[in-house]
Amino acid sequence: MKHLILKAVLVSGLTFLAAGTLKAQEETKEVKDSVKRKKFEINYGVGITIGEKKDSTGKVDQNKGRFVGGITFTRLDIGLAKLIDNGSFSLSPTNDFLDYKPWKTSTLSFDILQMGYRFNNHFKVYIAGGFDWTHIRLDRNITIKKDAPILDYDVTTDATFSKNRFSASYVHFPLNFEFRTKENDKGKRFRFIIGPEVAFLLDGKVKQISPERGKVKVNDDYHFTPFRYGGTARIGYGGLGLFAKYSASDLFDTDAQKGLKTMSFGLTFGLN
């Protein structure tokens, strides 16, 4: 008798569990379908885009012009930065105190918002906003002076730096012209993006690490140019791509460093 009761309870439990699982799957599908029908859609799971309104079949008419934009986290650029001294990759005697480690001098940037117009399935124009960092890993054992009337430095003799980073952070506003191909059977496409960019200085920083002093951080503008302009080009497939950036403005607003510019290149994550 006990065995029959146990079997009955077990069968009832399994039936209830199976029914619950099927119901949960149906509810999950309904939630996903309802999200697709909304005017706001999650974009790569990291942002919200406005303008991708779908019809009753859950598809977007890509050939109709429409405004698009919203909060996002896209175009994460990670790469190497190079200093160009009046057209040369070699620093002049005036600027050789900025001699740097080429494989540790880097750039990082990403966008957090965008707004524009998609003309059709293959062409879009939009302005974006985000943040940009340039990290120069100085090779010499020097300290860039804070609050100096010109870009100047002291030779450091009482400490040996294992890290001597000289960096600038900007808020940037690129204007992008995006061309993209038709999607292939995997739902991916090639993208070509080009456009100008302006940026405004947030802060400069010197970060040093040594056994004698430990970790030291000092913030100042360090004569980094307060207004920067240049251009960016990207090519990508799916959400991954390559980028190249060139700053047409000088890196510093000092006469001695006139003609000293930067360029960078590397990987882009999150093309959309």
C-beta separation of 217 from 168 below 8 A: no
Between 44-48, 222-226, 266-270, the lowest mean confidence (pLDDT) is in: 44-48
CA pair distance 190, 203, nearest whole angstrom: 36
Residue 151, pLDDT score: 98
Q: Report the alpha-carbon angle 51-125-196, nearest 5.
A: 140
- Write out the two tokens for 216: 């030291």
Residue 243, pLDDT score: 98
Provide the 3-class DSSP secondary structure of residue 193. strand
Q: What is the pLDDT of residues 158-212, one digit of tens each?
A: 999 999 999 999 999 999 999 999 999 988 999 999 999 999 999 999 999 999 9
Which residue type is seen at 15?
Answer: T
Say yes or no to pLDDT of 37 above 70: no
- Residues, the chain, total? 272
Residue among 160, 164, 197, 191 at smallest CA distance from 178: 191
Say yes or no to pLDDT of 111 above 70: yes
Question: How far is CA 248 from each of CA 102, 228, 253, 263, rounded to the nearest angstrom?
Answer: 20, 8, 13, 9
Residue 271, pLDDT score: 86
Q: What is the pTM of this model?
A: 0.78
Please tell me which of 17-21, 31-35, 60-64, 262-266 the model is most confident about, judged by mean pLDDT.
Answer: 262-266
Residue ranges of domains in the chain, CATH in brackets: 58-269 (2.40.160)
260 beta partners:
85
Say yes or no to pLDDT of 40 above 80: no
Q: Report the alpha-carbon angle 248-249-255, nearest 5.
A: 135
